[in-house]
Amino acid sequence: MIFELDQISATELPACDIVVVGGGPIGIVVAVQLARSGHEVVVLEAGGRTVDPVAQQLNVGINDGHPHNGLSHARIRVLGGNSIVWGGTLLPYTPIDFAHREWVENSGWPLKLQDIASYYDRAADFLGVKPGIDCDGDVWKQARAAAPVFDDAIEVVLTRSLRERNLARLFRNELTSRSNLKLLLHAIVTDLVFDKATNYVKTAVIKSITGRQARVSAQHFVIACGTIEATRLLLSSAQNDREAPWGHNRWLGCCFQDHLEISAARLVRKRTESFDNLFDSILLAGHKYQPKLRLAERVQKAEKLLNISGVLQFDSSLQHHIDNVKLFVSSVLRGAVPPNLRTIPSHSLALVKIWGPLIRRYFREHRIFNHSDRGIRLLINCEQVPLRESAIRLDSERRDCLGMPGVRLDWRIDGREIHTIARFCEIVRDALTRMGIADMQLHPKIAARDISILDECVDSYHQCGGLRMAPTFDGGVVDPELRVHGTANLHVAGAATFPTSGYANCTYTALALALRLCDRLTSYRNA
């Protein structure tokens, strides 16, 4: 059931067991799962049903460090959050992503892959990934292709893309009809009221942009409003209450990370059929599976490298028309009216020269034909060293219209990442040369290991850290159960809790951890 904060009276504010702060992908999954388990749940979403420029103005932020586009572009205040724009790709972390690595300071999770492996499967099922396709080998088999053997230093893995990426649409029926799940729109949490005597957060203070203020009480609170905003809320509430234990944690706001992204090399096909069979995406039952190259763990350990992955980008002069056809088809597949219905004939006509190979490639082999008359690039995502000084802080000089301090983001990059980027590119290049399927030319600065290339790297909108996970208060902000150290009922769900960023986008792992948290919350009730 969905309500507007401004349209209900104080006496109509719903009672609940659990408050979830944030109606983005993590918050929605937490809320739906808890409601299915019988909890009374209230979700507090800062935005509305559609993106509102006024709500977006609450993202007050100054960048003090390396330029970070996500500070403004990847904090969407709307029901569904960043899921309205993300790629919807699922890829689990690997064992080394959780491990302590002596060559990476501040690395090491208080969890292992096996602690959340089953939750990866549950998250995939929860999001509607087709049962029965549970490993890459099955996907290649259904695509009538042999699983590729690329190089023993580089692994080929398949990302899985959701058919419906907007989780507000995916779970629309439960969000609107479940009597034990209430969703308040334009309900911006501005403070958390903590009781030192019991170590409980008692209430969340909420405001609307129009000035309406209220308080919501619960037995448990789950902060799930994104890495930057979750950290901002804990920083601000600690500033308001000097006794809040998280305010005394030396890790609060520290070790902010993102994946470094850059077009690292240019490729030219030599054996087109072999190249395309390795790198063209697979389409099965409405789901896309994209081949991604990942650096093998043994190489990371032997050469003391960070984790890193790469995908091929096929540049086409027809890309605008191709994107419009994809939008049309995806809308039809989910039963929606395509927003480009009136213009699709002109886009289809522009693609007349490639319709033949597009159709043949799909119907014969379930593959996506990649038109690349403007070239092929290797786009890499590199893990960064988690630095304490790379931090989210409050801006003492700027406040939003509700009085909350703005954010100052000081994104720092260590510099050692250049070695990982260069070695990854060299290994990929050498493998392609041995296979005889492509020539690859590295970016000159990468080939020279020129550290200034890091200035050209951009963020991947994969924000994590700031509320890192650790067994003790001295090591992090939340414990392995995602409960804030020093509290009895305050929890954080999302990538803000990640000690390291791994090689893949962080949403799938955050969703798996969120479902694990839901089980813990239900166990508390049943104890």
What are the CA-CA distances from residue 43 to residues 16, 166, 194 (Å)? 10, 17, 19
Chain centroid to CA 92 = 12
Sheet holding 391-399, edge to edge: 61-63, 405-410, 391-399
**Given pLDDT bands bounded at 50, 70 and 90, which one contains residue 132?**
low
Which H or E run contains 95? helix 95-98
Q: What predicted TM-score, i.e. pTM, was given to this entire model? A: 0.94
Alpha-carbon span 61 to 421, nearest angstrom? 30
What confidence tier does 148 reach under pLDDT thresholds 50, 70, 90?
confident
CA-based angle 193:195:196, to the nearest 5? 130
- What is the Cα–Cα distance from 43 to 25, expressed in whole angstroms? 12
pLDDT digits (tens, 9 = 90+) for 414-462: 999 999 999 999 999 999 999 999 999 999 999 999 999 999 999 999 9
**CA–CA distances in Å: residue 199 to residues 190, 195, 475, 493:** 20, 6, 20, 19
Paired tokens of 474: 């001295």
pLDDT over 70 at 242, yes or no? yes
Give residue limits of the domains in the chain.
Answer: 128-161+260-317+365-382+414-456, 319-353
pLDDT value for 350: 72
> Rounded distance, CA 510 to CA 515, Å?
9
Confidence of residue 348 (pLDDT cuts 50, 70, 90): confident
DSSP 129: P
Dihedral, 370, 375, 376, 382 alpha carbons, nearest 10: -130
DSSP state of 127: T
Dihedral of alpha carbons 136, 517, 29, 393, sign: negative
Other CB atoms within a 10 A radius of the CB of residue 407 amount to: 25
Q: What is the pLDDT of residue 107?
A: 98
- Provide mean pLDDT across the span 492-504: 98
Q: Is 352 exposed, middle or buried (0-12, 13-18, 19+ CB in 10 A)?
A: exposed
